Amino acid sequence: MSELIRNSIRFVLFLAFEIYVLNRVPHLHRFISPSLYFLFILWLPFSVSPRWLLSIAFVTGLTLDYFTQSPGLHAAACVLIAYVRPFLISVLTPRDSSDFNYREPSPQSLLWAPYFIYVLILTLLYHGWLVLLEWMSFGSFGDFLIKLIASTAISLLLIFTVELLFPRSMRFRTNVGG
Amino acid sequence: MRNVILFIRRYFTFFTFLFLQVASLWFLYSFNKFHQAQFLQSANELTGQVNSRYKKVENFFALGDENRRVHTLNDSLINLLPQQFAQVDTARQLVRDTVPTDTLNRYRRYYFRPAAVVYNSTSGEKNYIQIDRGSLHGITENMSVLNSDGAAVGVVVNVSPRFAQVMSLLHVRQKVNVALKKSGDFGTMEWDGADPGLLLVKGLPKSVAVKVGDSVVTSRYSFNFPPGYPVGTVAAIISDPGTNFFLLKVRPAARFYNLQYVFVVENLQYSEQAQLDEQSRRRIEDPKRNPR
């Protein structure tokens, strides 16, 4: 399967799940609004250039925004994590190995501990930006913190459930014979 | 100048990020301020289409509840129809100790109760339908049963506290008084147990002009069924040379295969009518015991 088709399918599935499942299940609590779809951005291949990453993230966020009638909100958060992602990957992996040996970030390519940190930081950033933008219009700082931590925790739970449910087995790529 | 271009090229990613971030925030705040977002109109078209497709699927799962809702609403409305009432003859009125009539001097003739079908068969010769209402809900024997469209389905023959058994029209011992909608001529509807898609109407005189496609409705003379509710349409007319009657094959109006909700119709004068009928028969046919 080509990268484009694989990621297009993921795009549709993640957004459909977000719109028709996560946005529709009754809220656990008013502070908790888990989301999962931004895992799509976390899973994009290493080979995507930062500019493309930003554009894709923008489109992803905006698509969700138009479904939830809040244009710009999720797009802003997605663009933020897409911008941070390349730095984080270069910090968490030795430049010469994973970047080229595997297709995309996964527990297998980054190893579990760095991958966890990668997901944790980006989830925290995503929710942080999202809640901050909401907080600017209403709420207090205490609400902001609780919301941030609770949403991040539930999202992490969802993400690692997905990781365990759908392990992406990836070939180790060598530069011998492609 | 060259330095500026170099600078921009070096931080191009960062500028893209800034640009997109500002764009999103602009979308967000212009939406909150003016309640109109950029491209929201055209985006609404798209998301609306996707959403309506999804809704179609989702609606499918809510059909049961929706049917129930519509059915109970219909029930409340059907009970208000003027044909469920009859006019009291004021010329000679008995004085009773209750007030059975409303202010327009109408008294209720038929009362509709909603019920759900819990068991149904169409494959045998004696088909029964079980409904989830019983004597606790006021169901008694000999009440008639109509489906959601008002088409005749059967007659209650047995009642337990919470359930009732309905003898379907597809039952070889069922006999219902029916009439042609066009002319009002009546006959008896039966079933021979052969084809669940065809009922039989006997006793219609050959003098009646009947055509294929005519509607057959419940008759005014039926004790159980309220008059004028559809039973079926004439599918074939067999003229038996031996008798003076037509034999009509009638395609039933109710679809017995997918009954979900039904109305149980009570004729509030049933016992009085039936009693009178039986008394008069006894008196006429057995005059020795009941001398006139």
Could you report the per-residue pLDDT of A84-96, keeping only the tens digit for each?
Answer: 999 998 888 765 6
Residue environment code for B198-212, b if the CB has 16+ CB neighbours within 10 A, otherwise e:
bbbbebbeeebebee
Range of the domain at A131: 3-165
- pLDDT tops 60 at residue A115: yes
- pLDDT tops 50 at residue B286: yes
3-state secondary structure A60-91: HHHHHHHHHCCCCHHHHHHHHHHHHHHHHHHH
Provide mean pLDDT across the span B106-111. Answer: 83
In a domain, A173, yes or no: no
Lowest mean pLDDT across B44-48, B199-203, B277-281: B44-48
Whether the CB-CB separation of B47 and A23 falls below 8 Å is answered with no
Both tokens assigned to A114: 């760095």
Lowest mean pLDDT across A58-62, A74-78, B34-38, B244-248: B34-38
d(CA A83, CA B47): 27
Provide mean pLDDT across the span B104-133. Answer: 84
Looking up residue A14, the CATH number of its domain turns out to be 1.10.1760
Per residue in B219-252, pLDDT (tens digit) is: 988 899 999 999 999 999 998 788 889 999 999 9
Show which residues on chain A lie within 8 Å of chain B, measured between beta carbons. 20, 50-51, 54-55, 57-58, 61-62, 65-67, 69-73, 75-76, 79-80, 82-83, 133, 137
Q: Sorting pLDDT into bands at 50, 70 and 90, what band is B196?
A: confident
* The one-letter amino acid at A83: Y
- Position with higher pLDDT, B182 vs B104: B182
Lowest mean pLDDT across A80-84, B58-62, B98-102: B98-102
Contact A72 B27 (CB under 8 A): yes
Q: Give the minimum alpha-carbon distance from A116 to chain B in angstroms, rounded to a whole number.
A: 25
Any CB–CB contact under 8 A between B46 and chain A?
yes
- pLDDT tops 90 at residue A125: yes
What proportions of chain B, in percent to the nearest 5, are helix, strand and coil? 35, 30, 35
* Alpha-carbon distances, residue B154 vs A111, B50, B66, B146, B225 (angstroms): 70, 44, 24, 7, 9
Domain count, chain A: 1
Q: Sorting pLDDT into bands at 50, 70 and 90, what band is A106?
A: confident
Q: How high is the pLDDT of residue B6?
A: 83
Residue B154 host element (H or E) = strand B152-159
Q: How high is the pLDDT of residue B4?
A: 82
Residue of B120, B263, B108, B248 whose CA lies nearest to B178: B248
Q: Point out which residues pair with B129 in neighbouring strands.
A: B120, B166
- Position with higher pLDDT, B264 vs B105: B264
* Best B8, B16, B53, B54 residue to mutate vs chain A (most A CBs within 10 Å): B16
In a domain, A174, yes or no: no
Q: How high is the pLDDT of residue B80?
A: 82
- pLDDT tops 50 at residue B34: no
Q: Give the minimum alpha-carbon distance from A169 to chain B in angstroms, rounded to a whole number.
A: 31
- Position with higher pLDDT, A26 vs B92: A26
Q: How high is the pLDDT of residue B74?
A: 84
- Position with higher pLDDT, B87 vs B216: B216
Q: Which residue of A has its CA nearest to B45?
A: A66
Residues in chain B within 8 Å Cβ distance of A66: 39-40, 43-44, 46-47
Provide mean pLDDT across the span B130-137. Answer: 87
Lowest mean pLDDT across B12-21, B90-99, B155-164, B213-222: B90-99
Q: How high is the pLDDT of residue A174?
A: 59
The DSSP letter of residue B265 is E
Residue A123 phi, psi dihedral angles, 5° rounding: -65, -45
Where does chain B hold its CATH 2.40.10.350 domain(s)? 115-267
ipTM of this complex: 0.75
The percent of residues in chain A predicted with pLDDT above 70, rounded, is 86
In a domain, A76, yes or no: yes
Superfamily of domain B115-267: Rod shape-determining protein MreC, domain 2 (2.40.10.350)
In a domain, A178, yes or no: no
Q: How high is the pLDDT of residue B172?
A: 85
- pLDDT tops 50 at residue B64: yes
Give, rounded to a whole angstrom, the gap between the first and last alpha carbons of chain B.
Answer: 127
Across the A:B interface, residue pairs with CB atoms under 8 Å apart total 72
The chain-wide mean pLDDT, for chain A, equals 84
